[in-house]
């Protein structure tokens, strides 16, 4: 039973069924935290210029939702890489440079931060293996999703038992890119032209990061879905790097998406 004073995250239909196997997850919004000003709410971004005590309290609240101490909320120093780390009982709170984590160890919540990029949570409820990945365009293109699945398989997961969901991230309607961006994707795979639509500005296009992410997940042979929630227009619930940039604000917060295997299941 969750404390009513704790944040109330959004859940995925696919991952919710994993709760029967003692796997809990949540896509947390900016609501339910203590940060103020441009960071209002549940900002968990240690890389932001928010008050560190407020950020730590917000992280404590996320951990408490899972019933674990703040020291067991595992996050990484994200840098848009394809790199995945495996977390086990020896986890000591370190934040290695990577963009995804996997574990088969109960009592540790894996969390990824985002403010437009895609937070993806993975679970194999049959074998009790979980993962969490942060995928912007660079991570998605360079293999962070596929690497997360492979790391889960190495821990005993089965491909056809893994389910994954893309959480709140920027939609095509709000993601305009220049010609060099499009050229990079077409050079990788000409079929990737399908992820771009005219923007109305000469030489610019609207990029569908969500579709790319879900398609890459599905291509690994796992079941995948998207919450289909856009971070850009919904300032009440979500932080957005691009919205902050357009508004010329000095900094921005980050929301967290997390998943954990219950210790007492």
Domain ranges of the chain: 13-169+221-261, 172-207
Phi, psi of 92 (to 5 degrees): -125, 15
Complete edge-to-edge strand list for the sheet that includes strand 176-177:
176-177, 205-207, 196-198
pLDDT at 251 over 90: yes
Distance CA 167, CA 257 (A): 8
Share of the chain above pLDDT 70, in %: 98
Q: Which value, in Å, is the radius of gyration of the alpha carbons in the chain?
A: 18
Tell me which H or E stretch contains 28.
none
What is the per-residue pLDDT for 263? 85
Least confident of 89-98, 117-126, 168-177, 216-225: 89-98
Distance CA 5, CA 20 (A): 24
Give residue 80's pLDDT band: very low, low, confident or very high (50, 70, 90): very high
pLDDT at 45 over 50: yes
Taking Cα atoms as reference points, which of 187, 174, 177 lies closest to residue 234? 174
What is the per-residue pLDDT for 249? 97
**Which residues share a beta bridge with 88?**
none
The CATH architecture assigned to 13-169+221-261 reads 4-Layer Sandwich (3.60)
pLDDT at 53 over 60: yes
């Amino acid at each position: 039973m969750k404390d009513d004073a704790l944040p109330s995250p959004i859940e995925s239909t696919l991952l919710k069924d994993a709760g029967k196997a003692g796997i809990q997850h949540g896509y947390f919004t900016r609501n339910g935290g203590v940060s103020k000003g441009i960071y209002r709410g549940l900002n968990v971004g240690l890389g932001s210029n928010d008050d560190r005590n407020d950020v730590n309290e917000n992280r404590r609240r996320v951990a408490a939702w899972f019933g674990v101490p703040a020291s067991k909320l595992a996050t990484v120093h994200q840098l848009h890489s394809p790199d995945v780390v495996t977390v086990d009982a020896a986890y000591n709170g370190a934040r290695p440079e990577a963009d995804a984590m996997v574990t088969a160890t109960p009592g540790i919540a894996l969390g990824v931060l985002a403010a437009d990029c895609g937070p993806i949570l993975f679970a194999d409820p049959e074998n009790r293996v979980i993962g969490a990945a942060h995928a912007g365009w660079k991570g998605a293109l360079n293999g962070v999703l596929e690497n997360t699945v492979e790391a889960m398989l190495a821990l005993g997961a089965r491909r056809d038992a893994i389910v994954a969901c893309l959480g709140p991230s920027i939609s095509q309607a709000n993601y305009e890119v220049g010609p060099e961006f499009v050229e990079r994707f077409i050079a990788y795979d000409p079929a990737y032209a399908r992820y771009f639509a005219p923007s109305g500005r000469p030489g610019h296009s609207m990029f569908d990061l969500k579709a790319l992410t879900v398609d890459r997940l599905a291509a690994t042979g796992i079941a995948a879905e998207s919450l289909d929630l856009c971070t850009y227009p919904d300032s009440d619930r979500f932080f957005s790097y691009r919205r902050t940039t357009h508004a010329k604000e000095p900094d921005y917060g980050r929301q967290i998406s997390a998943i954990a295997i219950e210790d007492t299941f």
